[in-house]
A = this chain, B = another copy of it.
Amino acid sequence: MNPQFLLSKLKLLTLTIFTLVLSYGVQASHPSLVITQSDVLEMRKAVIEQGSFATAYGKLKAKVDLQMALPIEVPVPKDGGGGYTHERHKKNYQLMYDAGILFQLNQDKTYADYVRDMLLAYVQLYPTLDLHPARKVKSQNPGKLFWQSLNEAVWLVHTIQAYDLVYGALSAQDIDSIETKLLKPVALFLSQGQPSTFNKVHNHGTWATAGVGMAGYVMDEPEWVEKALYDLEKSGKGGFLRQLDELFSPQGYYNEGPYYQRYALLPFVTFAKAIDNNDPQRKIFEYRDGILLKAIDTTIQLSYDGLFFPINDAIKSKGIDTIELVHGVALAYSLTEDPGYLDIARHQDHIILSGDGLKVAQALDKGLAEPYQFESVAFGDGSDGKQGALVIMRSQLAGDQALLFKPAAQGLGHGHFDKLTWQFYDQGKEIVSDYGAARFLNVEAKFGGRYLPENESYAKQTVAHNTVVVDETSHFNGDVEVGNLNAPTLNYFDTNQFGTIANGDISSAYPGVKLERTLALINLAELEKTIVLDLFDVRASAEHQLDLPLHYLGQLIGTNFELSVNTEQLSALGSNNGYQHLWLKGRGQPEQGLAKVSWLNENGRFYTHTSLVKGNEEFLFTQIGANDPYFNLRNEQGFIRRVKDKKQHQFISILEPHGEYNPGKEYTLEAESKLTGLVHGEQGDLTLIKITMAGMPYLIVVNQSADASTQHSFQYQDKSLSVNGRLAVYALNNF
C-alpha cells in the first residue's frame, strides 16, 4: 500500500471514530459558527462601553441603518461581475451578515426581521432560477445567483452565518421555508451539484466546502460537514483538510502568491473557526503543525508598505487591510496574543464585530501593539515546501527596502512565466517592477471587468518580467501545465549582518538551457548604503539569443553610453510572446566596462543599474503599449539586455539606490552613481566581486559551494579572509 492510501484509510478511521463519539458535534444552539453564544455575551458588554469595539459597532450600525431604510432588492440575476444584479447580491449577503451581527449585539428584532425578510425574498426567487444567464460558455462552475459558483459559495458562507445569527428570532414556519427552499438547495447545488468544484483542491473548493460545511453545522446535516472535510465521497482526496494539506507549503505559503493567498484565507479562517467552535476535539488550529496560523502570518510577510508583492495575477492595490486579512489577523491575535499582530490590526484600522475582533479591539485600546517584524525569509513552495521558493530580502539600513526573488513554482492558472524574476522596493515605492495582472476589476468597459486579453498576451509572458527570455519565447513555451510540473530549485538562502543572498536555478524552462541566478541585497555599512548584486548565469547546449529585461518605474535620467533613439517613429519590438506589446524606443551597445542606466523614481530617489559588459550586450529601451487597441496596458518603461548566438553568458550587475531629488525644497543630492569599479572573479567555489563605491573598495564574497555550513577561509591579496555561510562583505580600506 502506498502512503497516500494509508493516509486516507487513517482519515476514514478517524472519521468513523468521530461519528461514533461526537455525534459530529452538530448542535442545535445558535449562533455557533464563527461567533458563539459566549462571544456574544462579551460583545454585548463591550458595545455599551467606550472603546474601539463600540466605535466599530456604531459605525456598522449607522451604515446598516442607512441601507435598511431602503427597500429590499433581490433582483433576478442578469449581470456578470461588476454589473448591477451581481453587485446587489454581493451587497445583500454582506447586509444580512451585518444585520445579523447587530441583532446579536443589540437584540433589536428589527435587524433580525430585516434578515428574515431578505431571506424570504430569496426563498421566493431561488427556486425559480436556472443557471445564470451570464455564465461562461462551457463553464464548469456556473452559479444561479451569480455568473460563477465561486460567488455563490461566498454568498452561502455569509448567508449561513447571517441565518445562524438570527435563527433564534425566526418562526418555525420561516425556518422551514428558508432551509428547504433556499439554504439546503444552495448547499446541495454547491456540493453534489458541482462535484468537480467541490472536490477540487483549489480556493474555489475551499469556499464551497466552507459554505456547505457551515450549512451542515447550522442545519444539522452532519454528513455535509464530513463531506466538506473529506470530499463528497469522504475519501480524503479532496475536501477542506486536503486543501490545508496541499494548498499551503509547510511554511504557509500559498502556491498562487499573496494576492490569491489573502483571498483564499477567508474561507479557511472562517470554516476553521466554525470547526473549532463546534468540534474542538478536531484541534483544527493545530492541524499540520498550525498551518493556518502560518498561512496568515506568511500573508503579512508577503507585503511591502501595506501592499502585497504583486507576483502572478495580482492587482497591485491589494494590501494587508483587505477584509480577509482583517479576519485572519483577528484570529492570529486571538490564538497567539502576539502584540505584533496588533501593529497590523492598527494599520488595517478595521475592527470586526466578533469574539476575536473584540480581543483585538480591547488590546489595541490598552496600547499593547508592538511593531510587527518583517523578515528576510525564503518561503518554500509546494505542499512539501520543496518546489522552489519565494524569497524576500529586507534591509532597513538605508530606508525601508525589500527585494523579492522568485525561484518559485508556476502557481497554477494564475501563475506567470517568470522563473527567477525579481522585484525591488525602496522608500515605499516599486523600483524594479512587475506588471502584475492586466485587469480592471469589475470595470465593465474593460472586458467585463475580467482578466484582459493582454493578461495572457503580455502580463503572463516572460518578457513582462525581470528574468531571462531565450529566443523570444516564454518559459515552458507558455504552457501552464508544463510549468506546474517543473519548479525551480532554491540552492541556498542565507541572511547575516552583510545582507541576504539566495541562489536558484531551473533547467526545465527551456530545453537544453540552465538558468541560474544569484541575488543579494547587500549592506555597505560604512557608507550607510545598500546595493543589489545580480549574477545571472545561462548555460545552454546550443546557441541562443538571450534577453534579460528590467522593468523600472520612473523617468530615465541617462545612460553612460550612446543611445540611438527612435524619435520619429516607433515599432513593436517583436510579434509574439509579449514582445508585440513593447515599443522599441531606442538601443545602445556599450563598450567593454561598466554600462550604466539611471532613473528617477517618484519617491525622489535615483537608481543606477550598472552592468559589467564585454561589448557584446545590446541594450534595448522599451515602453509597454504596442498592439493595445483598447489602451488596456500601462505605458511603463524598461530596458532589455540582449546577447546573441550564445551558449553561455553571465549577466553581472549591481543596482544602486542613491541621492535625492527634491524640487519642492529645491535641492538635488548625489544624482550620479558612486560605483566606479566592478570586477568579477572566481576562486574555487567562491565568487569574488570587487567593487569601488564612493571611492571605497569592497570585496563581496559569495560561497557557491554545495555545503556552506562551516566557515570557509581563503587568501585574497595576501590577506587571510573567511566567509561564514554564503555571504561576506569586506571593506578593503579597513585592513
Does A469 sit at the interface, judged by CB under 8 A? no
Smallest beta-carbon distance A447→chain B, Å:
10
A90's closest neighbor in chain B, by CB? Answer: B667
Q: Does A630 have its Cβ within 8 Å of any Cβ on chain B?
A: yes
Give residues 302-327 of A contacting B (CB, 8 Å).
315-319, 321-323
Q: Decide if A71 is an interface residue (CB 8 Å cutoff).
A: no
For A568, the chain B residues whose CB sits under 8 A away are 571-572, 626-627
Q: Kindly state whether residue A567 has any CB partner on chain B within 8 Å.
A: yes
> Is A598 within 8 A of B664, CB to CB?
no
Measured in the bound complex, the distance between the Cα atoms of B319 and A635 in whole Å is 28
State whether B668 touches A317 (Cβ < 8 A). Answer: no
Chain B residues within an 8 Å CB radius of A87: 667
Would you list the 7 A-B pairs with minimal beta carbon distance, nearest first?
A556-B631, A442-B668, A570-B570, A445-B558, A317-B664, A565-B629, A441-B663
CB distance from A318 to the nearest CB of B (A): 5
Contact A440 B557 (CB under 8 A): yes
Name which residue of chain B comes closest to A316, CB basis. Answer: B663
Residue tally, chain A, CB below 8 Å to B: 57
B-side contacts of A719, CB under 8 Å: none
Closest to A565 in B: B629
Please name the residue on chain B nearest to A321 by beta carbon. Answer: B664
Q: Which of A87, A445, A661, A667 has the most CB of B within 10 A?
A: A445
5 other A-B residue contacts (CB within 8 Å) besides A445-B557, A568-B626: A316-B663, A443-B600, A443-B661, A558-B630, A565-B629
**Residues of B with C-beta under 8 A to A571:** 568-569
CB distance from A603 to the nearest CB of B (A): 12
**Distance from A425 Cβ to chain B, minimum over Cβ atoms (Å):** 18
Any B CB within 8 A of the CB of A185 = no
Hey, which chain B residues are within 8 Å of A663, CB to CB? 315-318, 440-441
A93 within 8 Å of B by Cβ? no
State whether the Cβ of A628 lies closer than 8 Å to any Cβ in chain B: yes
Bound complex: CA of A628 vs CA of B555, how far in Å? Answer: 13
Q: Are B664 and A442 neighbours in the complex by a CB distance under 8 Å? A: no
- Proximity string of chain A (663-697) to chain B, C-beta cutoff 8 Å, 1 when within and 0 when not: 11111100110000000000000000000000000
Question: Residue of B at shortest CB range from A323?
Answer: B665
CA gap between A87 and B669 in the complex, in Å: 9
A283 CB within 8 Å of chain B: no
Could you tell me the distance in whole angstroms from the C-beta of A631 to the nearest C-beta in chain B?
4
In A271-317, the 8 Å CB interface with B consists of: 315-317
Q: Give the residues in chain B near A600, CB-CB below 8 Å.
A: 440, 443
Nearest residue (CB) in B for A319 is B664
When each residue 437-466 of chain A gets 1 if its CB lies under 8 Å from chain B and 0 otherwise, what string results? 000111111100100000000000000000
Closest Cβ–Cβ distance, residue A157 to chain B (whole Å) = 15
Complex A-B: 21 CB contacts under 8 Å:
A87-B667, A317-B663, A318-B663, A318-B664, A441-B663, A442-B667, A442-B668, A443-B600, A444-B671, A445-B558, A446-B557, A565-B629, A567-B572, A567-B629, A568-B572, A568-B626, A568-B627, A570-B570, A586-B629, A621-B631, A635-B637
Residue numbers in B under 8 Å from A585 (CB-CB): 625, 631
Cβ contact within 8 Å between B583 and A672: no
A703 surroundings in chain B (CB, below 8 A): none
0 or 1 for each of A362-384: is its CB under 8 Å from B? (1 = yes): 00000000000000000000000
Asked whether B567 lies within 8 Å of A627 as measured between CB atoms, the reply is yes
A318 to B317, CA, bound (A): 27
CA distance A444 to B672 in the complex (A): 9
A51 within 8 A of B: no
Residue contact B449 to A668, C-beta cutoff 8 Å: yes
Cβ-closest chain B residue relative to A571: B569
Cβ proximity bits A617-659 to B, threshold 8 Å, 1 near / 0 not: 0000101011111110011010000000000000000000000
Instruction: Say yes or no for A82: interface residue by CB 8 A criterion.
Output: yes
Q: How far is the CA of A571 from the CA of B566 in the complex (A)?
A: 10
Proximity bits, A419-450, B CB within 8 Å = 1, else 0 = 00000000000000000000011111110010
Q: Is the CB of A569 within 8 A of B569?
A: yes
The answer to whether A635 and B661 have CB atoms under 8 Å apart is no
* CB of A98 to closest CB in B, whole Å: 15
A442–B671 alpha-carbon span in the complex (Å): 9
A533-584 contacts to B, CB under 8 A, are 555-558, 563, 565, 567-572, 583
A152 to chain B, nearest CB (A): 17
